[in-house]
C-alpha cells in the first residue's frame, strides 16, 4: 500500500467515526472535514497552500485548494463545530480566558477577539469575532461573544473568566456579575480602589510576595477583592477576583 492509499484509508475511517457522532451531517461534508484533519496532522501547519497539498487524492493543486475552501465555508461545519468541541472538554468547571490576537489573511490584518478554555496550560479557542477596527474591543462586543458561548456552555461550568487589563469597565463587569460569571482580571496601576490608586495601596509589596486588601473594595462599581504581587522584573501585577 502506498502512502497516498494509506492516507485516503485513514481519512475514510475518520469520516465514519465523525458520522457516528454527527449523524445529521452530510457524508460529503464529513469527508472534507476528515481530509482536512488528516492534512493538519501530516503537514502540521495552518498555511492553506501547504494544507491543500496535504489533502488525500490525486486531484490537482487547484482542485484541492477549492475543496479546502468549501470545507471552511460549509455552514454545517460552522453550526456543529462548537458543540463538538464542548462535548470533548473535561467534566466540571473550566477556566475561560478572553484575549485579542492579531493575524493576517494574505495582506489583510485581522484583529480577533477570542474567548477560549484553558487546558493543560494552553488556550483552546471556542468562539471569536473579527473586530472591524484596530485596538481594543468595547463592552458590547465582549458581551455578545460571552452570550454566544453561554448558549452552549452555561455559566455554572465557568470556574472563572481570566483576562488582561484591557478588559475592564463598569458595564462589562455588571454584565458578568448578573450572569454569575466569576472573573480574575489584571487591572491598571492607576485604577482607583476606595479613593486610592492601586499602586499606592501596594507600594511596599516585594518580589514573590502576594498581598491583598483586608476588605473588599469597590472597583468600577463592583465590590472586589484586590490582590497584588511583584513579578521578576520588579513590576507590580494586580488582579481582582470577585468576593
Tens digit of pLDDT for each residue in 185-218? 887 777 777 777 877 788 888 877 787 777 777 7
C-alpha cell of residue 229: 504581587
Q: Quote the pLDDT of residue 9.
A: 66
Residue 93 has pLDDT above 80, yes or no: yes
- Per-residue pLDDT, 243: 44
- Single pTM value for the model: 0.73
Domains of the chain as residue ranges with CATH: 3-87 (no CATH), 91-185 (3.30.420.10), 188-243 (no CATH)
Give the model confidence (pLDDT) of 97-144 as tens digits. Answer: 999 988 776 777 888 999 999 998 889 999 999 888 878 899 999 999
- Looking at the predicted structure, is the pLDDT value of residue 88 above 50? yes
Residue 2 reports pLDDT greater than 70: no
Say which DSSP state 242 is in. B
For the chain, count helices (H), then strands (E).
8, 12
pLDDT at position 5 over 60: no
| Residue 58 burial (10 A CB sphere; 0-12, 13-18, 19+) | exposed
Q: Evaluate whether 161 touches 140 at the Cβ level (below 8 Å).
A: no
pLDDT single digits (tens) 14-73: 888 888 888 888 888 888 888 888 888 888 887 888 888 888 877 888 888 888 888 877
pLDDT confidence of 4, banded at 50, 70, 90?
A: very low
3 has pLDDT over 60: no
* Closest to 181 in 3D by CA, of 115, 82, 111: 115
Mean pLDDT, range 165-173, rounded to an integer: 86
pLDDT of residue 8: 60
Is 236 a residue whose pLDDT tops 60? Answer: yes
> How much is the mean pLDDT over the chain?
83
- pLDDT at 227 (0 to 100): 83
Residue 151's pLDDT band, with cuts at 50, 70 and 90, is very high
Q: Which helix (H) or strand (E) holds 100?
A: strand 94-105
Looking at residue 80, its pLDDT comes to 78
Tell me the pLDDT band of 242, cut-offs 50, 70 and 90: low
SS3 of residue 113 by DSSP: strand
- pLDDT of res. 161: 94
Residue 104 exposed, middle or buried by CB count within 10 Å (0-12, 13-18, 19+): exposed
CA atoms of 243 and 240, how far apart (whole Å):
9
> Is the Cα dihedral 30, 34, 40, 41 positive or negative?
positive
For residues 158 and 94, is the Cβ–Cβ distance under 8 A? yes
Mean pLDDT of 231-235: 72
Amino acid at each position: 500500500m502506498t502512502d497516498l492509499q494509506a492516507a485516503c484509508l485513514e481519512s475514510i475511517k475518520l469520516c465514519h467515526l465523525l458520522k457516528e457522532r454527527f449523524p445529521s451531517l452530510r457524508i460529503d461534508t464529513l469527508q472534507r472535514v476528515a481530509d482536512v484533519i488528516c492534512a493538519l496532522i501530516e503537514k502540521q501547519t495552518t498555511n492553506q497552500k501547504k494544507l491543500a497539498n496535504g489533502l488525500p487524492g490525486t486531484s490537482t493543486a487547484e482542485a484541492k485548494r477549492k475543496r479546502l475552501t468549501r470545507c471552511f465555508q460549509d455552514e454545517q461545519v460552522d453550526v456543529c463545530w462548537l458543540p463538538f468541541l464542548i462535548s470533548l472538554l473535561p467534566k466540571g468547571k473550566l477556566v475561560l480566558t478572553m484575549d485579542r490576537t492579531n493575524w493576517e489573511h494574505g495582506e489583510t490584518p485581522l484583529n480577533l477577539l477570542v474567548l477560549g478554555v484553558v487546558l493543560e496550560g494552553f488556550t483552546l479557542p471556542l468562539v471569536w469575532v473579527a473586530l472591524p477596527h484596530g485596538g481594543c474591543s468595547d463592552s458590547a462586543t465582549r458581551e455578545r461573544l460571552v452570550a454566544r458561548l453561554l448558549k452552549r456552555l452555561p455559566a455554572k461550568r465557568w470556574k472563572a473568566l481570566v483576562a488582561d487589563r484591557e478588559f475592564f469597565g463598569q458595564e462589562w463587569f455588571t454584565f458578568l456579575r448578573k450572569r454569575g460569571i466569576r472573573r480574575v482580571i489584571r487591572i491598571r496601576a492607576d485604577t482607583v480602589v476606595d479613593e486610592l490608586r492601586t499602586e499606592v495601596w501596594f507600594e511596599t509589596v516585594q518580589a514573590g510576595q502576594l498581598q491583598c486588601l483586608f476588605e473588599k473594595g469597590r472597583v468600577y462599581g463592583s465590590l472586589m477583592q484586590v490582590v497584588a504581587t511583584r513579578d521578576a522584573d520588579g513590576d507590580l501585577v494586580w488582579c481582582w477576583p470577585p468576593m
